[in-house]
């Protein structure tokens, strides 16, 4: 199994540009979420989904959109990139019925720089 | 509101010795989960250990154990017999009420010395 696959691994954007960070998992996990990691601040939840067609906001949702049309995919859209969105982005997924005790499976991250 | 506090930005430990990484949390929920993740320099997040708020025994996974003191709201990670490969950033996290929404601490960078 590939686990959680994030693309691209690196991206440089100009202020005002839009883009989509891709996330796909092949483990049939119901729960998927996006986090951003900034120095000294740990990871913060942007958006999450408990299943196909269901999404909700996390701690820092402004400037980002998500959709969950399939169980496998959970793309994150930056609507109009700003330098404050320079960060490392992680997608993570988890199986509902296995419970919390197995934790999340994280993707390898996308390092985004907005200039 | 929930909060995770990791007060040790960085720590050193000698190879083969044990080390404790501190984590305190704040929540008004009765049901919650506590987690530790490892982030090596390569950047990936690796799940280490989980403790449920109703679990009476401390969780253990190989060389990792979680020292859970509910009354003090602490969930310290103990790594026994440290190895050079344990050098990494370690994050404490919690979830509340059966949700899968994590709150993370700011992390502790551990350096294992040969």
Among the listed residues A5, A32, A107, A6, the one whose alpha carbon sits nearest the alpha carbon of residue B44: A107
DSSP designation for A101: G
Rounded CA separation B24/B40 (Å):
22
Using CA coordinates, name the residue in chain B closest to A30.
B100
- Average pLDDT, stretch A55-84? 96
Binned at pLDDT 50, 70 and 90, residue A2 comes out as: confident
Q: What are phi and psi of B86, to 5 degrees?
A: -80, -10
Chain B residues closer than 8 Å to A50 by CB: 100
On whether any CB of chain A is under 8 Å from the CB of B10, the answer is no
- How would DSSP label each residue in B18-87? -EEE--EEE-S-SSEEEEEEEE-TT---EEEEEEETT--SPPEETTEEEEEETTTTEEEEEE-S--GGG-
Question: What is the CA angle B110-A35-A43, rounded to 5?
Answer: 30
B102 vs A: CB within 8 A: yes
Give CA A11 to chain center in angstroms.
Answer: 14
Task: Determine, for residues B47 and A103 on separate chains, whether the beta-carbon distance falls below 8 Å.
Answer: yes
pLDDT score of B2 more than 80: yes
Do A42 and B107 make contact, defined as CB atoms within 8 angstroms?
yes
List the single residue in A with minimal CA-CA distance to B55.
A101
Residues of chain B found within 8 Å of residue A25, distances taken between Cβ atoms: none
What's the confidence (pLDDT) of residue B27?
A: 92
pLDDT in tens, B80-114: 999 999 999 999 999 876 677 889 999 999 999 99
pLDDT over 70 for what percent of chain B?
98
| pLDDT at residue A99 in the model | 63
Gyration radius of chain A's alpha carbons: 13
Contacts of A102 in chain B (CB under 8 A): 47, 50
Q: Which of B44, B100, B103 sits opposite A108 (nearest CB)?
A: B44
Token couple for A72: 């496998």
Determine how β-strand A110-114 pairs with β-strand A87-94.
antiparallel
């Amino acid at each position: 199994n590939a686990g959680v696959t994030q693309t691209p691994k690196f991206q440089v954007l100009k202020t005002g540009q839009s883009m989509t960070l891709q996330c796909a998992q092949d483990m049939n996990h119901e729960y998927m979420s996006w986090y951003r990691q900034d120095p000294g601040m740990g990871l913060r939840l942007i958006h999450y989904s408990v299943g196909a067609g269901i999404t909700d906001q996390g701690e820092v949702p402004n400037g980002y959109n998500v959709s969950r049309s399939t169980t496998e995919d959970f793309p994150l859209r930056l609507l109009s990139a700003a330098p404050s969105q320079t960060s490392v982005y992680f997608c993570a997924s988890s199986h509902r019925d296995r419970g919390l005790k197995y934790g999340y499976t994280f993707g390898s991250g996308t390092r985004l720089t907005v200039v | 509101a929930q909060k995770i506090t990791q007060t040790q930005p960085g720590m050193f430990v000698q190879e083969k010795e044990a080390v404790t990484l501190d984590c305190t949390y704040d929540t008004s929920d009765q049901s919650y989960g506590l987690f530790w993740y490892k982030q090596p320099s390569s950047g990936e997040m690796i799940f280490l250990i989980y403790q449920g708020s109703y679990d009476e025994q401390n969780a253990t996974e190989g060389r990792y154990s979680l020292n859970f003191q509910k009354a003090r709201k602490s969930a310290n990670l103990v790594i026994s017999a440290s190895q050079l490969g344990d050098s990494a950033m370690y994050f404490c996290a919690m979830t509340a009420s059966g949700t899968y929404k994590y709150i993370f601490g700011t992390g502790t960078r551990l350096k294992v010395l040969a």
